[in-house]
Chain A
């Protein structure tokens, strides 16, 4: 291990009664990519948020190059040589690309109070070119760019000023393979320049491949640091969870027949510029997987079934002949949907766990149109506990939960509704191994109860491991279909994706 650049000494942080980070001490070396892993809610993001001034430290201290680091916001952290690419959207709408890159640091372009917009745009364009993102126009409004390009802009924003420490917090889940490759390339470049990267990810394969050392947090406490070259996924899982996690947490059954009873029929469904003429049947007790490259249209299939697509044509019909053409109709007829974009489309982030869980069941819970809090609490508690949401109580705001627990709240909502057809879009995206295992177990349980599940996923392994049938999409159309089979391999699926 090289010379130490950053030391964390007894760092603690609580949110109300929840102890998010407990007495964490660890060191980071100059010129390394240091992985930071742990289950959802293990305190990784809170730890780095304190380093970057997003959250204040309750007790303990950070030492950067031997000097105490005490920053109140991201710009102060940047000035001290620490930057972060955050998990969520870190760019601001309504500003140009250049304004976003230099936000809070415009003073170099300001003379006598006047901002030299031309110089700022020119410098931003130079940086974008240097990073290989020349397709992005520095003077354009950032709203013109999609999520992935905005993440690339964030890479520039977080690293152009040569910080000594760069934190990359669970960014890769939002990126396609190309975007990831860009990020890895810049991570290596920054490391080779003698800077340090703290890399947070749930993708253990990527953590092992691209880091030099890996530290593990569990329940807010520091557990261990291992050399990446000596680490195995199983060992890391054990350190994260505190017990052995079976390396195979998928279904183990093969060859069991699926009912021939159709519960949902999708015929010739098209959504302009997204999907074209999709037809398939879903059977009772079946887990039907949808796979493909990120932009292949599979995510739109979930929306189309749930009646959430715009300008949809074709038909989505239940076994009893009911046509599903709107979200209320879908919910009324026992269809559930968990979107890939959890925070924006599935969860009401600034509301309680209770209100999130009861939402689709509210009419059933009302007594003569009056809602009784006791009954709502009982309902929410029952289903939150059923799938082990880690919470202080159902009054807790969802915004305070980790990604995995937010996903559990979404699932609790639909289990509470006793939905018969459940559409799960990327259900384990950004979720740690333990919650993943819980979700897979829950899916198997629902299947055993005769519920039908559509799982849309970009993770080929989970499609192979969990589905009775897999449909592969390419350019908005179905390009292949596979039955569950032990001999089915990733290569078989990939061949139909690209």
Chain B
């Protein structure tokens, strides 16, 4: 079985489903190795064949609604049949679930089992230049900024790639688009990932000495600019920050309930 990219669609040649549940087919494929991640997201094409593990399926298009849950490779509860293909990742297995015949939302009106659009496909393609850019940062020499900058360390690169991949995975659970960030090298040997839209600003800086991911968020309030800084220690913190940046308000930023104990100030 081979996965290929074609236009907006990820094409599955000769799919042999790991399992069939009624009119649904399930295909698992493996997590790319970390070492190949910085070379590009397309490395995900590597396939493994393994049985379905217990997981929850969520409809990737309408956020949050759990349609059915498998508790093993053979038993399942069918609550609702969605019209679009589903995609889920549980960090170990990436699983595509699609009906034998599926309606696609955009260019194609109908597609058969060979043509399945995954919600992840578009965001992966959008993020591909970011991964490629990070790959280039790994090759920067000493003094690349002319002011004595250190080379970007491999740890920062790896952690940056992991963080970006977590963002892509978040897309399947939070139900809205995650804007593509700008990635910049830091002269200290780290990397900075930043987003800016209107008055909102979000920055994640990854350093290896000490090994931390720090965040800095800013938004405009009546009294001036509200800023929030701290160390990011969990995926839930990342989710909160991104959710705020995409959909939140300055008031949300002021009332963050982070486990990271952020420091907020108005300047």
Genuine A/B complex: no
